[in-house]
Each structure stands twice: as structure tokens, then as C-alpha cells.
Structure 1
Amino acid sequence: MPAGAGRLLVVTAVDAERDAVVAGAGELVDVAVIGVGPASAAAATARLLATTDTRYRAVISAGIGGGFSEHVGVGGLALATRSIAADLGAESPERFLPLDELGFGTVRYEADADLMRRLTDALPDAAAGTVLTVSTTTGTAAGTAALRDRYPDAVAEGMEGFGVATAAAQAGVPFGELRAISNAVGPRDRAGWRIGDALAALTRASAALGKLEA
């Protein structure tokens, strides 16, 4: 299905993210809450795509997330060129072994190239790169260093993108991911989070979603 056909589906983890998207998005955008984490995201997105009569031109995983400070700051935006399940695999004495290296499947989905072009045109200030999906958010210096070492082009971290991408791929629907940055990936510092700023940025970004060229 081409990215320009039908309506756009935007999925978020929680109500506050949905409300932020709805506040900015136009009439051609449907917004749904799918829960926190890759499993809930995959199951709920798959159900939405399988049970609707709507021919969605694309599905976008949107929400707030952590940013890698060398690429994007708090209050900024990140667009996924690909979504990677960063902690899906096996530990070994030498290093972390991703699932694909073990021969058991994939840990990455590329964002739809045409949709990505439209998004970057609409949001030229957004940092584009790999967005990592984790089941446990990073909260230590050691964990942050390990992710930077494995994925030097990672711009942000979230908890749902890979799950949404899995459902979209199986349904044959183009996928994209948008993150508004609430905090830097690094040692957990709740006092440094700027959730309100990130939600405001998500609303501003969502205003561009309904205007993507058909």
C-alpha cells in the first residue's frame, strides 16, 4: 500500500501522548493508545490494523522518549530511519549478541523511505537516525555507554517503536516513528526530565502530520 493512500494512524503508549497528538493533528489522522512496551504495542497495533475497514496510508509510533545528547536535546524531535530492538538477544562474556546474529529473527525494521521523506520535509529540524526500542529504559552510565558503542547512530530511545513496526510490517503498512525528547539517555535523573516540554513539542510536530502530501 503506498504511503500516500488513505488515512494516517498514529499510535501512542499513554493517554497524555495521545492528547498531545490530537491537539495538533488534523482530521485525516486517527490516534489510538496501545500501551507501554513492545509486546503491548505490537499486539494492539496488529489488532487495530486487522479489525478496521480503513486503508491506512501509514502507521506512526509517536510519543516522548530519551534522546542521545550528541544528536538531539531535550525538547527536540527525533525521526527514526530504522527501529531497532536494542535489548532483544543474548548476553555473552564477550558482548551482547542481537537476535539476528543468533539466527532467530530480526531486531530492526527500516522506516518507509517515502514516508520518511515526507516527515523530514515536514519536520526539517528533527534529528534523523536509529531509534532504539527497549523494554527497560536506560538509567546508568554503563548502560548508556554500551548502547552508544553498539548503535553510534542512535538518536533516541523509546519502548514501543519496534513493536509497532513489527505489526505494520506483517500488515504491509508503511511504518514511521516520531519521538519528542523529554530527557537525555543516561543516568536516571527524574528531576531533569521535561515531560511538559516534550509533550508540547509533540503537539507542534503533530500539526505537520495531517498536512503530509497525499
Structure 2
Amino acid sequence: MIPSPVLVVTAVPAEADALRPLLDPALVVVEAVGVGPAAAAAGTARLLARRDHRAVISVGIAGGFPGRADVGGTVLTTRTIAADLGAESPDGFLPIEELGFGGSVLEADPVLIAALRAALPQAVAGDVLTLSTVTGTAETTARLAARFPRAVAEAMEGYGVAIAAAGAAVPFAELRTISNPIGPRDRGAWRLADAFAALRAAAPALQRLP
């Protein structure tokens, strides 16, 4: 009996198009669901409702924390964190846990992460932050790095994908390749070609997941 496929969710079509030609659609289904946690959650939930999948992987390009993840490298999430889900206060940011309204942290499936780490030994594992607003200043970079000492990257969809996966009781993981260091916004310094090359190089690992 053929197992149900892995669902790979990307934000934009360019990420999905980079992966599809390298993957057997009977084993891995790749879909772009939109940018941001809300679009990611809604799109992933819709796809999971239509068909059984044995795992969900959030995949795409991300910014890397300097000194923790190199541009052109690959990162794997151990935890996905909604880093801006909470409230401001005179004493600083209050995560949603301190407000008593739920949680901002979801663990990646350890079996999936172990398989990805075995297939991608050069990948860096750590927390991946989900933000609705991409970091663009040195001040915000320093604040996030201090709040999340295990964070290796930030993106905009992982937590949304993870919420949908949790709701459907499907194992979740996140894989990102790094196009730029997190910090002051400088599109001219982004190395998208390197990030897409790393994304394509990681594709075979997605096809060998348990």
C-alpha cells in the first residue's frame, strides 16, 4: 500500500516551482499558500482537509541570525515561535503566554527533524521565528536575538503551518534556506540565487521522510 504523501507548503509560487521538478508528486505534494501566518494557516488547513498527508513541512527562503546561520545555508526548526504574538508594555514585549491567552511555541516533530538532520548534516537546527513584519533594523535584530538565544532564522509562515498541522494531528517540521542576514533592510545584499540553490539541494531529503 502506497503511504499518503508528505505535504510541502511554501509561501510563494517561486519556492514551490523550484522544488516540484525535483520531487515525485506521488511522494511529495508541493503547494504555495501565500505570505504570512494567517494565509499559511488557512491554506494549509484547506489542503489537509482535502487529502490525507502523513506530514507537513513548511519550506522556503528566510533571513538568518548573524553568527547563527550563514547566507546560503539551510536551517531546520526544533521549535516554531510566533515571536510577535503578544502585547507591548512599558517594560517590554509580553508574549501571549504571559497574557494567559494560549501559547506562541510549537515543537517540530522529532522524528521528522531527525530524518532531515541525517539527510542534511550541514543544516543548522534551532528555533525559527514567525513574524508578520520582517525585521529591518539593528535594534529589532538585537532585541529578537536576546529574547530568543536559540533562534537561527525568521520567516513569516511556519507558525501558521504548524497550527494547521496540529489541528489536523499531522506531524510538522520547517526547513528554510538563508538568503540574507537579519538586520537593516538591504535588498541589494540578498543572495536569492544561493538560497534557491540550497532549497533545490535539500529537495531529495523531503522525498525520504518517514
CA distance in structure 1 between the aligned counterparts of 2:201 and 2:23, rounded to whole angstroms: 9
Q: Quote how far apart the aligned CAs of 1:25 are.
A: 2.6
Q: Structure 2 matches for 1:8-27, cutoff 5 A?
A: 8-27=6-25
Q: Which residue, 178, 191, 196 being the options, matches 1:194?
A: 191
CA distance in structure 2 between the aligned counterparts of 1:200 and 1:171, rounded to whole angstroms: 32
CA distance in structure 1 between the aligned counterparts of 2:5 and 2:48, rounded to whole angstroms: 12
Ranges of 4+ aligned residues in structure 1 off by more than 4 Å: none
CA distance in structure 2 between the aligned counterparts of 1:9 and 1:158, rounded to whole angstroms: 19
Where 1:179 maps in the other structure, the secondary structure is strand
Which 5+ residue runs of structure 2 have no aligned equivalent?
Answer: none
1:162 matched residue in structure 2 = 159
Which 5+ residue runs of structure 1 have no aligned equivalent?
Answer: none
CA distance in structure 1 between the aligned counterparts of 2:23 and 2:90, rounded to whole angstroms: 47
Q: Quote how far apart the aligned CAs of 1:204 are.
A: 0.6
Where 2:35 maps in the other structure, the secondary structure is coil
CA distance in structure 1 between the aligned counterparts of 2:21 and 2:126, rounded to whole angstroms: 26
2:133 matched residue in structure 1 = 136
1:65 matched residue in structure 2 = 62
1:150 matched residue in structure 2 = 147
Q: Does 1:31 align with 2:42?
A: no
Where 1:63 maps in the other structure, the secondary structure is strand
**Letter matched to residue 199 of structure 2:** L
Pick which of 68-77 and 16-25 moved more: 16-25
Q: Quote how far apart the aligned CAs of 1:26 are.
A: 3.2
1:76 matched residue in structure 2 = 73
1:51 matched residue in structure 2 = 50
2:179 matched residue in structure 1 = 182
Q: Quote how far apart the aligned CAs of 1:23 are.
A: 3.2
TM-score by length of 2: 0.96
Over residues 80-123 of structure 1, what are the superposed CA-to-partner deviations in whole Å (9 max), with x where a residue is unaligned? 00100001100111110001111101101100011111111111
CA distance in structure 2 between the aligned counterparts of 1:109 and 1:148, rounded to whole angstroms: 19
Q: Does 1:119 align with 2:120?
A: no
CA distance in structure 2 between the aligned counterparts of 1:110 and 1:79, rounded to whole angstroms: 12
**Letter matched to residue 57 of structure 2:** I
Q: Quote how far apart the aligned CAs of 1:15 are.
A: 0.7
Q: Quote how far apart the aligned CAs of 1:51 are.
A: 1.8
Superposition RMSD on alpha carbons, in Å?
1.0
CA contact (8 A) 1:75 1:198 kept: yes
Q: What is the number of residues matched between the two proteins?
A: 207
